[in-house]
Amino acid sequence: MTSMVTRAVGAPVARLEGPAKVSGAARYAAEYPQDHLAYGWIVPSPVARGRLDAVLIDPAEEDVLAVLWYGNAPELAKSDDPELAVLQSDEIRYRGQPLALVIATSLEAARRAAQAVQLEIAEEDHDVELRADHPDRYTPETVVPDVPAESSTGDVEAALTSAPVTIDVTYETPPLHNSPMEPHATIARWDDQDLILYDSNQHPSGIADTVGAIFGLPAGRVHVVTEHVGGGFGSKGTARPNAVLAALGARVTGRPVEVVLPRQAMFSIVGHRAPTLQRIRVGATEDGILTAIDHQTCTQSSRLLEFVESASVVTRDVYPVPNLRTGHSVVRLDVPTPRWMRAPGEAPGMVGLECALDELAVELGLDPVELRIRNSPANPRYVECLRSGAARFGWSERDPRPGQRLEGEWRLGTGMAGATYPASAMPSTARVRALGAGEYEVAIAAADLGTGARTILAQIAADELGVPIDKVHIRIGDSTLPQASVAGGSSGSASWGWAVTGACRELRAADGSSDEATFDTTELVQQQKENRHASGAHFAEVRVSTVTGEIRVSRLFGMYDGGRILNPRTARSQFLGGMIMGMGMALHEESVLDPAQGTWVNHDLAEYHIPTHADVEWIDAAWLDQPEDDLNPMGSKGIGEIGIVGSPAAILNAVWHATGIRIRTLPARLDKILTATP
């Protein structure tokens, strides 16, 4: 081995899998060839609540191999996730719930037969409307990710009563849906008693464990292949019904079975970001020092599973306040179960908090950047992001008064918001093997969702082994490899990179006495310092039409502290992607639930609006690139979600600055501008 190699970490290395993806050589879950492949098509519930009495099948469908429903499906073992108990009960808990699976020799035949299936259902009254005064609203013990639902420090009520300046506002965020380019998809095949799953997910090891338990198998007898993933945004972090249904179909028919969810089914079966009703009360001194914050969130979950969006939790960590209270309440409704969506909790929570702080700054007559600086004495990197971001954006030229800039029919305004996201790592194991001729294989059961994880791990290994990056061969996306944590929570690179670093160092320490080394980070991760965060500051400029009320984001800039940036090319992509997703959250995205039918009425990409190229006029990101070496051996922090946290609030605050109108119910549509009074 030689150390005379240019460092790979920190270099803008192109994605290693890029050529395979653009040439079509990269295989996604539904693209693995199988002999005698059969196709499954889900028959969804047409009602939001009731009981399934019978499934009637047209016997003339010659190409149909089987129609499974609770009356004939094999029995599954109990699961911690009741949504994976597919076809096991006559109970209907939400519209779109899988009630039957048609398996046929072609996709067209399966779909045609599924449309012809008749369901005998005893429909019951349903309730799908979230209201702050809902009689079934209650306080849960914990919210995701398993943290206490409530917290309290000091005397919040007394502090708010005595505060010279107070703000009491309510912000609402609607349900949102993950819309990865690749839909949830699985090909299942049984080899004797072993199960093989080609599955689009964010956690091959976890999927093997979960699906194995459902079928009474140890994880070692479930082989999950997840070589390439076309996005997930959290929705593929755990096993979804498509994987279980495909495995059921394959067991019954004795053939490989493919189940690919159509786009509309993804709006019901795989989860969504829950809506939130957030009341934020803030108290401050006349010079802008925060004295009290009370942040209360009301949200919803399903009848099947309690999943509580943790929007108020982020307020516990951003600004040190002597009197702080946060809490959550939830209503269980006849809706699909909410799930992880990029920056769960933090993304909606910072909308409420950072918009409320903007309102406080106006009340105080204080610059919004300065307000945050004054209240961040223990977070110098956050302060640096605020100062540096403001300088790069040209914030000092801003007239603080709203509605002062007019260019033709367009009113211009600028706004900003802070950002934070936990910096953490989870236990993972990596193996490094010397292949001879100066080449090495790095193996870990990680998943690359398009974030560049494959490339970053190769960069880390190349530096630790002292070889060029093209001498490192990465194997990921396979549950039979050393176990890795989920690709989520902005923890992937920190978790897997730590394990790869350790394995490479173990191999070098062996000094030729062994050609293989394995490293498990479990004990080290357990000793990791808690309450560490990545930070950032967002700045936005918007134009609002005085004629139509249309809102255009003309400039969007983010300044971040992500520790050491392992690859500036892939990092920039992650930052910008998060910011654009935040733009969608602020201006476009809203899942509309019809209370009469209990269904999402805009359940496709024609009506569920996300940003397009035309919406992204000018966007950029920069970072401090200051290693945090006591966090992990790479000195890095996760960056996959910090870009969306705070971005919507910056845009909403800019809309106020342009128009004098506060939009407190997202998204900020043109009709809300036209009907509002500044």
206 and 298 fall within a common domain: no
353 and 495 fall within a common domain: no
pLDDT of 1 above 80: no
pLDDT of 384 above 90: yes
483 and 367 fall within a common domain: no
409 is catalytic: no
List pLDDT tens digits, range 65-96: 999 999 999 999 999 999 999 999 999 999 99
Which of 500, 526, 552 is the last residue before a domain boundary? 526
pLDDT of 60 above 80: no
User: 356 vs 13, 225, 280, 664, CA distance in Å?
Assistant: 40, 45, 7, 10
326 DSSP β-pair partners: 151, 295
375 and 437 fall within a common domain: no
**Residue 74 domain-assigned (yes or no):** yes
pLDDT, average across residues 523-551: 94
List pLDDT tens digits, range 117-137: 999 999 999 999 999 999 999
pLDDT, average across residues 658-676: 96
pLDDT of 397 above 60: yes
Residues near 592 by Cβ (< 8 Å), separated by ≥ 6? Answer: 174, 600, 601, 602
pLDDT recorded at residue 5 = 66
E-strand ranges in 124-200 read 142-143, 147-148, 151-153, 165-173, 185-191, 194-199
Looking at the structure of the chain, the number of domains it has is 3
* Length of the chain measured in residues: 678
pLDDT-derived band at 455, boundaries 50, 70, 90 = very high
Structure-token pair, residue 79: 């699961």
pLDDT of 379 above 80: yes
Residues 289 and 264 sit within 8 Å (Cβ to Cβ): no
Structure-token pair, residue 447: 């998943």
pLDDT, average across residues 504-519: 96
User: 59 vs 62, 63, 136, CA distance in Å?
Assistant: 7, 10, 45
List pLDDT tens digits, range 573-618: 999 999 999 999 999 999 999 999 999 999 999 999 999 999 999 9
User: 343 vs 27, 416, 421, 640, 646, CA distance in Å?
Assistant: 28, 19, 8, 9, 11
**Residue 241 domain-assigned (yes or no):** yes
**Domain limits for position 105:** 32-125+181-231+236-267
**Residue 6 domain-assigned (yes or no):** no
**Residue 83 domain-assigned (yes or no):** yes
pLDDT recorded at residue 58 = 74
452 and 371 fall within a common domain: no
pLDDT recorded at residue 630 = 86
479 and 576 fall within a common domain: no
CATH of the domain at 493: 3.30.365.10
**Residue 140 domain-assigned (yes or no):** no
**Which of 489, 490, 481 lies closest to 446, judged by CA?**
481
Whole-angstrom distance, CA of residue 286 vs CA of residue 162: 12
601 and 654 fall within a common domain: yes
Q: Which amino acid is residue 499, in one-letter code?
A: A
156 and 285 fall within a common domain: yes
48 and 102 fall within a common domain: yes
401 and 479 fall within a common domain: no
pLDDT-derived band at 4, boundaries 50, 70, 90 = low
Q: Which amino acid is residue 577, in one-letter code?
A: G
**Residue 371 domain-assigned (yes or no):** yes
**Residue 407 domain-assigned (yes or no):** yes
pLDDT recorded at residue 678 = 73
**Residue 1 domain-assigned (yes or no):** no
Mean pLDDT of the chain: 96
The whole model's pTM is what? 0.97
490 and 346 fall within a common domain: no
200 and 167 fall within a common domain: no
